[in-house]
């Protein structure tokens, strides 16, 4: 590891083959520490209150009562892990799509990717109720992929970036959501209730089994992040620049879209669709520390994990007073943060 001053007079850090500006590395470390701290708080708070040392003792496997063990290992820890991973994946998908579409408002939900995954699961639940639960991620992925591919077919491979695919995504999303509304309305009440549960994002069903199952996708997303980072870096410069730099945009854009649909679908099969994180996390990460390529994706992803963790914490803390679904807590936490960062940016510009 060495620190040096780059050609643009910025301090950079080199660790092995990876190189990044110092402020990005600092931001990453800061966000990671923040996430760890939040995880500790999240483990400590609940129907059984623990203090910091209790958390350390229980987590490190020290002597603990049966109740403490149950609270920490069976209920809280998997939920925290699932929340972080899902936030990570969604934020990464969002950041990727934003570079791809060259639009800060792109989002996996907006492109109909989550809706496709969701609808695939719902159709399976209605028409093939015998299919066991463990297959759901695969089914969701097929749904997400189907939407991704049909988007590409609808707009043509060469328009895989830009505004056309976003608008077409909205169109597909609207159509699909009307189909899922139909399922919701015209299935028997009990079944409709089950479907509606799937339709709403919730971390309530987090178990170790889910953590293990999703862990693969989490790992895959990390690999994808490193692979995709460079291409995105080039796309951010604009289509023509990308092409003149030798980026094979006609296939790398569709490929990136497919990656985004797959990881989004995986997260939907676990916790249902969660909107807004995909826009919010990259934006917040960007206001913490400007970055490009893989480091931008990394920062956005950690921010996403942090967001969902804190939103879920809010959901859990308030649960005795009022029921706040995770979609609502994300808006409650995210909207002020969003507005504040924009105000700060405006103030900085005015100087």
Partner 1 sequence: MALGPVRERTDPAAEAGARGSRLSVIPVCLAAWAGCVLLNVAFGSKAIPMTEVIQALVAFDERNYDHFIVSSQRLPRALIASFVGACLAVCGALLQGLTRNPLASPGLLGVSSGAVLFVVFFGFYWGVPNAWHGAVAFAGGWFGFFSCVLLARVARIAHDPRNLALILAGAIVSMAYAGIASALVLANESLRAELLSWMSGNVNHYYIDRLTDVWFVGAGMLFVLLCLAPALTLITLGSDKAAAAGVAVKPVTLCALTAAVAGAAAAVSVCGPIGFVGLVVPHLVRPVAGAHFSALFPACALVGAIVVLLADVVARVVFAPYVLHTSVLMSLLGGLAFIVIVKRHYLTVGVAARP
Give contact residues for partner 1 (rule: CB under 8 A). Answer: 102-107, 109-110, 154-156, 158-159, 162-164, 166-168, 170-179, 181-182, 184-185, 193, 196-197, 199-202, 238-239, 273, 275-276, 279, 322-323, 325-328, 331, 338-339, 342
Q: Which is nearer to partner 1, 64 or 324 (CB)?
A: 324
Shortest distance (Å) from residue 346 CB to partner 1:
9
Dihedral (CA of 126, 131, 137, 143) sign: negative
Which is closer to partner 1, CB of 84 or CB of 276? 276
CB of 349: closest distance to partner 1 in angstroms?
11
Q: How far apart are CA 98 and CA 60, in angstroms?
A: 40
Q: Is 16 left (phi over 0), alpha (psi -120 to 50) or beta?
A: left
Minimum CB–partner distance for residue 167 and partner 1 (Å)? 5
By beta-carbon proximity to partner 1, the closer residue of 59 and 237 is 237
Longest dimension (CA), the chain: 66
* Spatial distance between the Cα atoms of 220 and 22, rounded to a whole number of angstroms: 26
Rounded CA gap, 279 and 267, in Å? 16
Q: How far is the CB of 283 from partner 1 (least distance, A)?
A: 8
- 204-211: long-range contacts (C-beta < 8 A, 24 or more apart)? 205/271, 206/78, 206/79, 206/81, 206/82, 206/83, 206/271, 207/78, 208/78, 210/78, 210/82, 210/270, 211/78, 211/81, 211/82, 211/85
- Least Å from the CB of residue 136 to partner 1: 19
Q: How many CB atoms lie within 10 A of CB 3?
A: 10
Which residue, 78 or 272, has its beta carbon nearer to partner 1?
272
CA dihedral 53, 59, 65, 71 (to 10 degrees): 110
Q: How far apart are CA 229 and CA 248, in angstroms?
A: 14
Instruction: Answer for the pair 269, 136: CB distance below 8 angstroms, yes or no.
Output: yes
- What's the min distance (Å) between Cβ of 188 and partner 1? 13
The CB-of-220 to partner 1 minimum distance in angstroms stands at 26
């Amino acid at each position: 590891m060495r620190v040096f001053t780059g050609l643009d007079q910025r301090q950079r850090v080199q660790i092995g083959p990876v190189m990044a500006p110092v402020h990005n590395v600092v931001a990453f470390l800061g966000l990671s520490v923040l996430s760890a701290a939040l995880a500790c708080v999240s483990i400590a708070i609940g129907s059984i209150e623990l203090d910091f040392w209790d958390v350390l003792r229980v987590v490190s496997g020290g002597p603990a009562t049966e109740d403490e063990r149950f609270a920490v290992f069976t209920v809280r820890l998997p939920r925290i892990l699932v929340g972080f991973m899902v936030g990570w994946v969604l934020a990464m998908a969002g950041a990727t799509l934003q570079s791809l579409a060259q639009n800060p408002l792109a989002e996996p939900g907006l492109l109909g990717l989550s809706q496709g995954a969701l609808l695939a699961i719902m159709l399976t639940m209605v028409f093939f109720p015998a299919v066991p639960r463990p297959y759901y991620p695969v089914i969701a992925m097929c749904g997400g992929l189907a939407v991704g591919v049909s988007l590409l077919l609808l707009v043509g491979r060469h328009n895989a970036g830009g505004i056309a695919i976003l608008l077409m995504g909205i169109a597909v999303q609207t159509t699909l959501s009307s189909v899922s509304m139909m399922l919701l309305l015209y299935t028997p009440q009990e079944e409709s209730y089950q479907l509606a549960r799937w339709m709403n994002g919730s971390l309530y069903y987090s178990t170790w089994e889910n953590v293990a199952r999703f862990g693969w996708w989490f790992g895959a997303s990390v690999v994808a992040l490193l692979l995709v980072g460079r291409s995105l870096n080039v796309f951010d410069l604009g289509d023509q620049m990308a092409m003149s730099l030798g980026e094979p945009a006609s296939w790398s854009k569709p490929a990136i879209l497919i990656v985004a649909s797959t990881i989004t679908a995986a997260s939907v099969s676990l916790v249902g669709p969660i909107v807004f994180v995909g826009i919010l996390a990259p934006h917040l990460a960007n206001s913490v520390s400007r970055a490009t390529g893989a480091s931008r994706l990394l920062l956005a992803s950690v921010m996403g994990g942090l967001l969902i963790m804190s939103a879920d914490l809010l959901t859990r803390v308030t649960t005795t007073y009022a029921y706040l679904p995770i979609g609502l807590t994300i808006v409650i936490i995210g909207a002020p943060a969003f507005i504040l960062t924009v105000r700060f940016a405006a103030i900085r510009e005015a100087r």
